[in-house]
């Protein structure tokens, strides 16, 4: 990230599911510097750049599409079907609330 971009960057928090936290060797939320506008795409790009072992686990390698059994939540709203280029809520962009990446619950 350039110096100019850093001045416009916000610290975004991302909550990962258990298995991805293990892959990334992190505990709790991860914190990422993301330049405005803070979109799903920008956050995921920053996440994969900082933790390349997560590449392909959230988005398909070739298409960049969300993997079918993962969901995105922001401020208690399901963002899974939203455009990856839509700006996230201000409280997520400012780091007040985390962007949550969840594994869909399956089974019974």
Partner 1 sequence: MSGVRVLVGTRKGAFVLNSDGKRRDWNVSGPFFAGWEIYHMKGSPVDPDRIYVSQTSGWFGQLIQRSDDGGKTWHQPGLPNEAIPPPGPPTALPNRFVYDSSPETGRPLTTHQWYDGTQHPWEFKRVWHVEPSLTDAETVYAGVEDAALFRSTDGGENWQELSGLRGHGTGPQWGPGAGGMGLHTIVLDPTDPKRIYIAISAAGAFRTNDGGQTWKAINKGLRSQYIPDPDAEIGHCVHHLAMHRSRPDVLFMQKHWDVMRTDDAGENWREVSGNLPTDFGFAIDVHAHEPETLYVVPIKSDSEHFPLEGKLRVYRSRTGGNEWEPLAKGLPEKDCYVNVLRDAMAVDTLDDCGVYFGTTGGQVYASADAGDNWAPIVRDLPAVLSVEVQTLD
Q: Which residues bind partner 1 (CB under 8 A)?
A: 17-20, 22-23, 25, 49-50, 52-53, 55-58, 60-62, 67, 69-70, 103-104, 106
75 versus 102: smaller Cβ distance to partner 1: 102
Residues 25, 74: contact at Cβ < 8 Å?
A: no
28 versus 52: smaller Cβ distance to partner 1: 52
Dump the DSSP string for 7-41: HTEEEEEEE--HHHHHHHT--S-EEEEEESS-BHH
Minimum distance from residue 10 beta carbon to partner 1 (Å)? 20
Look at strands 77-78 and 30-35 and give their pairing: unpaired
Minimum distance from residue 96 beta carbon to partner 1 (Å)? 26
The separation between the first and the last C-alpha atoms of the chain, rounded to the nearest angstrom, is: 45
| Structure tokens given for 38 | 């803070």
78 versus 90: smaller Cβ distance to partner 1: 78
| Structure tokens given for 72 | 């995105």
42 versus 58: smaller Cβ distance to partner 1: 58
Minimum distance from residue 90 beta carbon to partner 1 (Å)? 29
């Amino acid at each position: 990230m350039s110096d100019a971009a850093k001045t416009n960057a916000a610290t975004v928090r991302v909550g990962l599911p258990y298995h991805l936290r293990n892959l990334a060797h992190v505990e709790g939320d991860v914190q990422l510097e993301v330049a405005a506008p803070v979109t799903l795409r920008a956050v995921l790009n920053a996440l994969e750049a900082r933790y390349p072992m997560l590449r392909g686990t959230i988005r398909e390698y070739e298409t960049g599409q969300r993997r079918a059994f993962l969901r995105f939540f922001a401020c208690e709203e399901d963002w899974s079907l939203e455009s990856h280029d839509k700006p996230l809520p201000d409280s997520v962009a400012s780091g007040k609330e985390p962007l949550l990446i969840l594994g869909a619950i399956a089974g019974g």
